[in-house]
Structure 1
Amino acid sequence: MNVQIVIDSASDLPKSILEDYQLESVPLIVHLDDQDYLDGETIEPKMVYDAMREGKSPKTAQATPESFYNVFKKHAEQGKAIIYLAFSSELSGTYQSAVIAKDQVLEELPEADIYCIDTRAASLGCGLIAYHAAQLAQDNADVQDILDLANHYVNNMEHIFTVDDLEYLQRGGRVSKAQAFVGSLLKIKPLLHVDDGKLVPLEKIRGSKKVLRRMVDVMKERGEDFQNQTIAITHGDDEENASKLKNLIQEELSPKDVIIHTIGSAIGAHAGPGTIALFFLNKVKK
């Protein structure tokens, strides 16, 4: 390949896709029980979710400039153009780490061709963008063609998700303690989305049975041309509900393909077990 696609571990892509498309992933850091782990490498999501169920509060840190520097320099020395598709800069400083590393590499290798793109996306929202970019890269497409496709996906990627317990979002400062307490009492399931890289509440739904149905309805309202789309579903150690959502979507919208995967340790440390997230392209803005 003439172009190397680089991602970070918050993209939550399955390892099979990373291997098939030669994607390189830079890990975020997860801190649990006084130890630091590399997301996607030295810690499994199940470990994080079980710890959260026990009342523990794992912390995360952005990927380091050094980790990006090593990856960027390696591929630049091989003469490849590099496109890094970053976890939303509104949710992590990882994008800024990559920009620092890019500048360091360019000081040493001024001819290096490195692009850092803030996808304003998270989990498989970011992962889908990288997946499609990597498909083009594997076909030896031009850098500009890959950048154009990636930016199209960046501008039109929808995230619709719900969490099982508002307490997890409260720990991360996404909702107040009062909101979390009242929500738990009333069995309210929040429906959220990502708007310009930020987590934004969308609706409050009473009862978990209704929330999957509403996710599909919102998908119908916001998206189109699903028969030609690869959509994605991620879950916080909740394969049962993720499969139910997949079945509803396949029955009603017949997407081209569905990628379903566990939310990784870094994002899972904030969203918590029981999170269900849905990613698709919205109606293209004219």
Structure 2
Amino acid sequence: MRISIVTDSTAYLPEGFAKRHSITVVPLHVAVDGAGRLDGVDFGPFELAGALAEHRRVTTSRPTPGEMAAVYRDVLSSSDAIVSVHLSRELSGTWEAARLAAEEIDPSRIRVVDSRSTGMGLGFAVLRACAAVADGRSHAAVEEAATSAAAQTRMFFCLETLDHLRRGGRIGTAAALVGTALAVKPLLHMDDGRIVPLEKVRTMSRAVGRLVDLAAAAAGDGPVGLAVHHLAAPERAAELATRLDERLPGSTGCVISEVGAVIGAHTGPGVLGVVVLPGGPDILPHTPDNSASSSPE
């Protein structure tokens, strides 16, 4: 059986990884002052940071069920089955669009997974699914590999500013943080598919230290997959990645990638995030080894 992996643009996979592993990435829609763009296609982190700096209105929306169905038909023209892994249904309607499209086409051939996360919280689930495909595992086992990785992954964020969060959006933290002193840096985490407040610290340097501590506590012993996300903060992200690798000897290598509009429009520039997958992703993000589509006997 030839199984293919589909995901969406919020996975923020390492550059070149999707092409190398034959992963189909479906872009979410972005509107900038009402003008349509496609996340990761003609509107990336650089464009997002510029739009936010100019105080332009940036909103995002899901792919339509029709768009998802078109993707699935195209993929199934050369594959027997699909595992489609997407960002949390609490953050977007993308999972629902995928589910509706799968039901329309053939739910026995398309399994849709809610990662209950985003960024590399989603990306690590995709990597585990890729490894399962490369190992020649069954359709159900590939789905389980993605679901299991999603359940194990932990994700933590800290914000440089509350300005963008106060404007509202999909991240359900605004009410809890309204009135917080501007100098305070909130720490957030993924909790059952939602991004919610965890704690507050006084400075960004302390926030970075807490991210390292939280990641270490979540990692446990043994191998661990790590990713650092940021928006317009490459030097700080590199420093955080170095500290994580030094603190966690089991690190399989820390991925660094910028967030797109689905998260970044609501957090603003300067956001830092850490994603932790105990046990590691099975396929290393940096290594061009196996394809995400295979034809096992």
Q: 1:31 Cα shift?
A: 0.3
**2:235 matched residue in structure 1:** 240
**1:4 matched residue in structure 2:** 4
Q: 1:175 Cα shift?
A: 4.1
**2:292 matched residue in structure 1:** none
Q: Give the unaligned 5+ runs of structure 2.
A: 280-297
Give the 5 Å matches for 1:183-222.
183-184=181-182, 187-222=183-218
**1:132 matched residue in structure 2:** 128
Aligned CA-pair RMSD: 1.9
Change (3 A) 1:54 1:18: same
The answer on 1:231 being equivalent to 2:229 is: no
Q: 1:178 Cα shift?
A: 9.3
Aligned partner of residue 68 in structure 2, secondary structure: helix
Contact 1:29-1:63 at 8 Å conserved across structures: yes
Q: Which range moves more in the overlay, 93-102 or 131-140?
A: 131-140
Among candidates 243, 251, 274, match of residue 246 of structure 2: 251
Aligned counterparts of 1:217 and 1:265: Cα–Cα separation in 2 = 27
Deviation per residue, 1:6-59 (Å, 9 max, x gap): 001111113311111111011101100331101011212111112112222301
One-letter amino acid of the structure 2 residue matched with residue 240 of structure 1: E
The answer on 1:41 being equivalent to 2:36 is: no
More helix by share: 1
Contact 2:84-2:113 at 8 Å conserved across structures: yes
Give the 5 Å matches for 1:166-181.
166-173=162-169, 174-176=172-174, 179-180=177-178
TM-score (norm 2): 0.87
One-letter amino acid of the structure 2 residue matched with residue 145 of structure 1: A
Change (3 A) 1:154 1:265: same
**1:54 matched residue in structure 2:** 54
One-letter amino acid of the structure 2 residue matched with residue 66 of structure 1: G
Q: Give the unaligned 5+ runs of structure 1.
A: none
Aligned counterparts of 2:60 and 2:72: Cα–Cα separation in 1 = 23
Deviation per residue, 1:236-282 (Å, 9 max, x gap): 11111111111111111121121111112332222211111101125
Deviation per residue, 1:54-84 (Å, 9 max, x gap): 2223011111112210111122233421001
One-letter amino acid of the structure 1 residue matched with residue 208 of structure 2: L
Aligned counterparts of 1:252 and 1:15: Cα–Cα separation in 2 = 25
Aligned counterparts of 1:15 and 1:247: Cα–Cα separation in 2 = 19
